[in-house]
Amino acid sequence: MSDMHGKKKALGRGLSALLDDADSENPQRDISGEYAAEYIIQIRPEQIEPNPFQPRSHFDEAELRELAGSILEHGIIQPLTIRRIGHNKYQLISGERRLKASKLAGLTQVPAYLRLANDEQMLEMSLVENIQREDLNPLEIAISFQRLLDECRIKQDDLSKKVGKDRSTISNYIRLLKLPTEIQVAVRDNLISMGHARAIINVPDEQSQLMILKKILEKKSSVRDVEEMVRNLGKPKVGGSGSKTLPAKYEKAKSNLHNKLLSKIELKINKKGAGTIIIEFKSSEDFDRIISKLDS
């Protein structure tokens, strides 16, 4: 009861009083003990500048319209978080999706926590909040982790505690950023999963990684299929008559055929130059696919 009374009293003291408190030498702290976070104000959306550190670059328009409808019906349940950067001028720390939806809904005022934060704190707060979101894709999470390590100079052990994830999980996300651009885009666009990407990471050369990506997209390969592909790539290639390597022109032809058909190819050559080509297929449909590619 006393807490409710205190909040009502704070909210009724006026914006100037709240700003005075926010600028005091001993501002109230949130649960982390790091930032002032106890003041909720009502503010016009046009007074809030976008967050320059926003990790997300894409917001689904249909989802924004759906959220705008919910806001019109129920209001904003979770206030935005802002910092003051001038007279009647504020900058968004977190809640850009809610702010965009509020503008679509035509709200003239939105509730917001008023915090103290310098640029580095803003970046850290924005990134940590975004990492906790369920709709963030693995690549966005990986980029956020890397920025926290590089730009906020957070050690990996401390980062693990801040986001509630163990070090190995963080490392697995960050490793995504070492993949070729085409594979990163496929992760970003949800064409392949985190599991697919983690399997591809274990392939040492970029050409083979991209070949596996093409196979995943064409054949809708499962993560288990990809792991099997990776294991097969690591096996030594044995030619005819006990030879462990093929002449360069045959290796090139084998590689070209493999890339065209996206199937396992065996090529055996004897000492006289005669040999066999074996093309593996896994089903009747896979056979038809291979034949159509050979005919094209």
What are 5-27's pLDDT values in tens digits? 444 333 333 333 333 333 333 34
**Per-chain mean pLDDT for the chain:** 77
What are 195-217's pLDDT values in tens digits? 999 999 988 888 889 999 999 99
- Token pair 């070090």 is at which residue? 167
Instruction: Please say if 120 is a catalytic residue.
Output: no
pLDDT bucket at 55, cuts 50 / 70 / 90: low
Q: Residue 54 has what pLDDT?
A: 67
Question: Does position 270 have pLDDT exceeding 50, yes or no?
Answer: yes
Q: Residue 235 has what pLDDT?
A: 57
Question: Does position 128 have pLDDT exceeding 70, yes or no?
Answer: yes
Report which residue type is found at 248.
A
Catalytic residue among 63, 96, 120, 251: 96
| Domain boundaries along the sequence of the chain | 2-117, 236-296
Question: Does position 108 have pLDDT exceeding 90, yes or no?
Answer: yes
44 within 8 A of 15, measured Cβ to Cβ: no
- Token pair 């009374």 is at which residue? 5
Which of 197, 53, 227 has the alpha carbon at shortest distance from 137?
Answer: 197
Q: Measured between alpha carbons, how far is 205 from 51 in angstroms, rounded to an integer?
A: 38
60 or 200: whose pLDDT is higher?
A: 200
106 or 130: whose pLDDT is higher?
A: 106
Question: Does position 219 have pLDDT exceeding 70, yes or no?
Answer: yes
- Taking CA 87 as the corner, what is the angle to CA 83 and CA 93, rounded to the nearest 5 degrees? 15
Question: Does position 93 have pLDDT exceeding 60, yes or no?
Answer: yes
pTM comes to 0.46
Average pLDDT over residues 24-36: 41
Report which residue type is found at 85.
I
85 within 8 A of 156, measured Cβ to Cβ: no
Q: Residue 134 has what pLDDT?
A: 62
Question: Does position 135 have pLDDT exceeding 60, yes or no?
Answer: yes
Question: Does position 177 have pLDDT exceeding 80, yes or no?
Answer: yes
Q: Residue 224 has what pLDDT?
A: 92
Q: Residue 124 has what pLDDT?
A: 75
pLDDT bucket at 29, cuts 50 / 70 / 90: very low
Q: Residue 46 has what pLDDT?
A: 93
Structural class in CATH, domain 2-117? alpha beta
61 or 21: whose pLDDT is higher?
A: 61
- Number of other residues whose CB lies within 10 A of the CB of residue 69: 13
Q: Residue 136 has what pLDDT?
A: 75
Pairing of strands 110-115, 80-86: parallel
Q: Residue 245 has what pLDDT?
A: 66
Give me the torsion for CA of 175, 181, 187, 189, rounded to 10°: 150
